[in-house]
Amino acid sequence: MKYEISNQPFTILTLKMNKGESVKCQSGAMAWMTRGIRMETKTGGLGGMFKKAIVGESLALNEYVAEEAGELVLAKHCPGDIMVFNIAETPIIAQKTSFLASAGNVNMDIYLQRRMSAGFFGGEGFLMQQYSGSGYVWLEIDGSVQERELAAGEQLIVDSGFVAAMDASCKMDIETVKGFTNVVLGGEGLFNTVVTGPGRVWLQTMPINALAMNLYAYMPHPSN
């Protein structure tokens, strides 16, 4: 199977599939495809449905099987980028609802932050998703992506919601913004996310919640 990521920021993932190959993707991700590719909707059983419901993913995944060589094109749900990870190299922790597609034997599980406070106040969510096994996973990124390599013990302070993914070797925590004036007038909120290495961390430039709030300010509102 060959793939191409193109058309940023309205990004699409083009998969050139050989006969017999298959890919799993999020419900509603298919944009177009050629004849000879069959779709099957799978839930993964009650356990899989429960995990998806907790992290806000669609309860069903679509599996596309190439009965003959063809092309399958998947599209993001909002402007941004698509990243591919080789899970055989290292497990990946990612923001929930970022899953787009996977090929091979990729296991998707719930990842709990080391401290509950890191999720409740850190902006990335108490529940994230861990991808392990072997194969490839494609994730949706909000906006553009920046990669940082952290040495052991090296820390990166990130505004809430800007962490898209990180190696499972990294740890995430939160810290309070110091100073009353900084909190009230600084516009950065009360907490920052702290990612500690070793490992890679991928940062997104426009979290979907920040984009929604910016657009909301320009929307007409009914008068009370």
Position 223 in a domain: no
Is the pLDDT assigned to residue 1 strictly greater than 80?
Answer: yes
94 assigned to some structural domain? yes
Contact 69, 32 (CB under 8 A): no
Encoded tokens for 192: 């920052």
Half-sphere exposure of 122 (CA within 13 A, CB side): 27
**Residue 221 forms part of a structural domain:** no
CB atoms within 10 A of CB 224: 3
Does pLDDT of 50 surpass 60?
Answer: no
Is position 205 within any domain? Answer: yes
92 domain residue, yes or no: yes
In a domain, 163, yes or no: yes
Residue 222 lies in a domain: no
Per DSSP bridges, beta strands 99-112 and 22-26 are antiparallel
pLDDT in tens, 69-104: 999 999 998 889 999 999 987 899 998 889 999 999
pLDDT digits (tens, 9 = 90+) for 160-205: 789 999 999 999 888 876 654 444 444 455 678 899 999 999 999 9
The arithmetic mean of pLDDT across residues 145-168, rounded, is 94
Phi, psi of 57 (to 5 degrees): -80, 165
Q: Mean pLDDT of all residues in the chain?
A: 82
CB 193 within 8 A of CB 158: yes
- Give the count of domains, the chain: 1
Instruction: Give 109's pLDDT tier (boundaries 50, 70, 90).
Output: confident
Q: What CATH number is given to the structural domain containing 142?
A: 3.60.160.10
Average pLDDT over residues 105-131: 68
Q: Which domain holds residue 26?
A: 2-216
Domain-embedded: residue 224: no
DSSP assignment, residue 220? -
The percentage of the chain sitting over the pLDDT mark of 90, rounded to a whole number, equals 54
Write down the pLDDT at residue 216: 66
Per-residue confidence (pLDDT) for residue 208, from 0 to 100: 75
**192 closest CA partner among 95, 121, 112, 120:** 121
Max Cα–Cα distance, the chain, nearest Å: 63
* Average pLDDT of the segment spanning 51-71: 76
